A and B are shown apart, each in its own frame.
Chain A
Amino acid sequence: MKISSRQREGVTVLEPQGKITIGVGDVALRNAVHEAVGAGSKNILIDLSGVSTMDSSGIGELVATYTTVTNRGGKLKLLHLPPKIQDIMQVTQLITVFEVFDDEGEAIASF
């Protein structure tokens, strides 16, 4: 699992690639978000288009990072949910928690 990071208009955009699953991808996601927050980022957008699988640990890590960022006065939003991740967000009802976008420009403008 690789996660690239870039800045766009004051928003940190994280782009994980691969599986966000127990023991590997979930830890990588946590580290990437903590690194961004530690560097002073308040607004984080996670582009999930490159994520093939997200198990319950991956979903749990997404929730944990959401709480971390929100508790520090920041915002964490999601971009480009693949259909299967969208299904998981629906059945876990987390779709009601996260703001989700299909267009990056629109997502950036929303912060």
Chain B
Amino acid sequence: MVEAAAPPPGDLQFHLAIGSRFENVEIVQIVLNDVLERMGVEADTRHWIDLAVREAVANAVKHGNQGDPGKRVEICMCRDGGEVVVRVEDEGAGFDPRLVHDPLAPENLLRPDGRGIFYIEKFMDGVEWGARPGGGTVVTLRKRVAEAAPGAAGPAGAGEPPRTEPATEERTR
């Protein structure tokens, strides 16, 4: 019996297109987690990436595409050197993250909404917002993970808990 060699991390990537339904977030989560696991990204880091991507996809469904199941959300993930990069695109009217309220302000602490972008920026190392050609929003999420040694089964990624300050410096719009 010949055992297939594991592909190098750079070959692990995916591109998904989903209809704008919340239940489809679970499809993304299953594929994302599987690919991250094959990359050797350890469980804690996978958890934080999963949470951030959930928020980005849920935002695209809810605020971008306004829940219109006929509009698609596209998600692609790849490895870029020491980073996992996830890009989420919607077909909505565009979005300015600077208009979202600060969920840590005392007057907002008991608001039930408005923590999605906070989650994304807290759990990832870099976040860039942009306009999608033809209309819509593109958000690019980056997370540093440790380089997996060739053939190593060990974990990649520091698994550190979320930072205490949001990564606002990488906003582009």
Contact = CB atoms under 8 A, between A and B. Distances in A.
A22 B115 contact: no
A92 B104 contact: yes
A60 B113 contact: yes
Contacts, number: 62
A23 B146 CA distance: 34
9 contacts: A22-B22, A23-B23, A55-B54, A55-B116, A60-B112, A60-B113, A66-B110, A91-B162, A93-B104
A63 B110 contact: yes
Size class of the A contact interface (CB-based, 8 Å): 20 to 34
Contacts of B161: 87
Given A56-B55, A92-B103, A24 B109 contact: no
A53 B116 CA distance: 14
Nearest to A65: B112
A87 B110 contact: no
B58 interface: yes
Contact of B47 (A64, A84, A91, A93): A84
3 nearest A-B residue pairs (beta carbon) = A23-B22, A56-B115, A60-B112
A53 B46 CA distance: 12
B50 A53 contact: yes
Interface of B: 22-23, 25, 44, 47, 50-51, 54-55, 58, 62, 103-104, 109-113, 115-116, 118-119, 122, 161-164
A21 interface: yes
Interface string A7-19: 0000000000000
B111 A24 contact: no
B57 to A, nearest CB: 9
B162 A55 contact: no
Contacts of B112: 60-61, 63-64, 67
B168 to A, nearest CB: 14
